[in-house]
Amino acid sequence: MTQAPQLELPERPAVEPASVLRVLTMRPFPLFFVCLLLVVSSVAWRRGAFYSGGLDVVVVAKAALTVLAVVIALLMRRPPGAWGRMAAAPVLWLGSYLLISVIGGILNADGLPTIVLAGRLALLAFALVLVTVSHPWHVVLSAMSSAMLLLACFGALTGLGSLATTGRLYGGIPPLNANEICLLVSVPVVILFWKAVHGTASRAEFYGLLPLLGLIWLTGSRTGLAGLIFIMVLLVVVAPRVPPRVVAGIAATVPMALAVAFLTPLVTAFAGRGDLESVTTLNNRTVAWRAALDYADTPSVQLFGSGLALKQIPVTALYRDQQMLDSSWVSALIQAGYVGSMILLLFVLATLVRALRLPRPQRSLVGGLALLVTLVGVLESGMFDTAPAFIVFFTMSMLAHRIIARPRT
């Protein structure tokens, strides 16, 4: 007698990734340690200094930390078929951009600094590839956000004195820029708020958003805070169902925010930093942007740029003749020309489109973090450099391009 065939149902995971994604965790410790090494090696160790060639102790030390992270990542155990589940598109996009920048540096400037910086960025990207291949997406985000939060809090605690001298929170050790602290904290804030919107945040995680948002406020980063608020609103809009606790929190926050905005000078002081004219001029960023449009005076510079080592540009302005390129996109235009900028534009669009194809609720988190650094990159540099913004974007790109097995029909 033959037995009737049994219908095999797909096994549901015992625990949803959204509920096990943690911001304050050091598990697995090797992954957390790798992420911490990468974040530490990507932030500024000196204020206002840029690599221009030669044997730079700081650059060598940062490269050594990245190499150590790569070695540890290489020793990590990877599940069978892990490489086959990762698309090579992010590596190809980044490799094309670095190649263009190196060509531009060799043709139009001192090529050696550009080669060194491109090598550092490639090494950082290689470490991120190893990390994303070796671990599930939620484990990667847990370790990365935890490392960023730890470094941001340590830098903020050692730099509390900056509030009295500058009115903004800067890092002490390391000497983090206020905008860097804002971005480092914004990543765990987005993750915690994403968990709250999907009903998986614990009570401590939900109320932990308040001090983290307060820390971001102390940095005085207008661009970072505006981008973060936009992403948080977007997470609420795309959520299939918002828990009552979050709805109550939003209902209580909106009138309080309106009262603070219209009845107190706090918002005006935050936005203007004592000078409302600086808002309309974008803190003189447009001076460097206009100079950048006129900088390329040959077809070679226009097409391929002048290399990654170009961080400042000559300007005609009061009290200064050099200015930083405070925009990832303007920096790309100068460093890699029109060709490199077009490659990066396609890279970003491909990442956002792929993020929208991820299953719920992963798509809103990965897409939200990628969109956050993209928006902030309009007014801040670092998205295509050895910086925390690049770590966030390239990691999201690797996760977005992960090949998901579809059930057979």
Q: How confident is the model at residue 184 (pLDDT cuts 50, 70, 90)?
A: very high
d(CA 226, CA 211): 17
Residue 224 has what pLDDT? 92
Q: How confident is the model at residue 109 (pLDDT cuts 50, 70, 90)?
A: confident
* 185 within 8 A of 199, measured Cβ to Cβ: no
Where does residue 192 rank: exposed (0-12), middle (13-18), buried (19+ CB within 10 A)? buried
Other CB atoms within a 10 A radius of the CB of residue 226 amount to 14
> Please, is 277 exposed, middle or buried when counting C-beta atoms within 10 Å of its C-beta (0-12, 13-18, 19+)?
exposed
Confidence tier at 250 by pLDDT (50, 70, 90): confident
Integer Cα distance of 285 and 289 in angstroms: 6
By CB atoms closer than 10 A (0-12, 13-18, 19+), residue 26 is middle
Please state the φ and ψ torsions of residue 12, each to the nearest 5 degrees: -90, 140
Asked if the structure places residue 159 within a domain, the reply is yes
Is position 4 within any domain? no
Distance of CA 27 to the CA centre of its chain: 22
405 in a structural domain: no
Q: Number of folded domains in the chain?
A: 1
In the chain the first and final C-alpha atoms are separated, in Å, by: 29
This prediction has a pTM of 0.90
Please compute the mean of the pLDDT values over residues 214-241 and round it to a whole number. 92
Per the CB < 8 A criterion, the answer to whether 270 and 217 are in contact is: yes
Domain that holds residue 252: 20-46+58-400
Helix (H) or strand (E) holding 92: helix 89-108
What stretch of H or E contains 315? strand 312-317
Pair of tokens at residue 349: 């669009």
d(CA 45, CA 24): 25
Please determine, for residue 7, whether its predicted confidence score (pLDDT) is greater than 60: no
The pLDDT of residue 270: 65
Q: State the Cα torsion 22-25-31-33 to the nearest 10°.
A: 140
pLDDT level of residue 14 (50, 70, 90 thresholds): very low
pLDDT at site 16 = 64
CA distance 198 to 175: 36
Amino acid identity, residue 64?
Answer: A
Q: Which two tokens stand for residue 20?
A: 């096990």
Domain-embedded: residue 13 = no
Give tens-digit pLDDT for 310-358: 888 877 766 666 777 788 999 999 999 999 999 999 999 999 999 999 9
pLDDT tens-place string over residues 29-42: 999 999 999 999 99
- Contact in structure between 108 and 307 (CB atoms under 8 Å): yes
**Are 114 and 101 in contact, with CB atoms under 8 Å apart?**
yes
CA-wise closest residue to 74 among 9, 131, 20, 147: 131
Q: What is the residue-averaged pLDDT of the chain?
A: 86
CA atoms of 219 and 179, how far apart (whole Å): 7
Q: Is residue 346 part of a domain?
A: yes
Q: With 60 as the cut, is the pLDDT of residue 281 above it? A: no
Question: Is 12 a member of any domain?
Answer: no
Q: Is the pLDDT of residue 277 over 80?
A: no
Q: Report which of 351, 369, 350, 344 is spatially closest to residue 94, judged by C-alpha positions.
A: 344
Structural domain includes residue 15 = no
Between residues 172 and 255, the one the model is more confident about: 172
pLDDT by residue (tens digit) across 137-157? 999 999 999 999 999 999 999
User: What is the pLDDT confidence band of residue 267, given thresholds at 50, 70 and 90?
Assistant: low
pLDDT tens digits, 52-104 = 777 778 888 999 999 999 999 999 988 888 888 888 999 999 999 999 999 99
Q: How far apart, in whole angstroms, are the C-alpha atoms of residue 147 and residue 24?
A: 9
pLDDT class of 279 with cuts at 50, 70, 90: low
In the chain, what percentage of residues exceed pLDDT 70? 86
Confidence class of residue 278 from pLDDT cuts 50, 70 and 90?
low
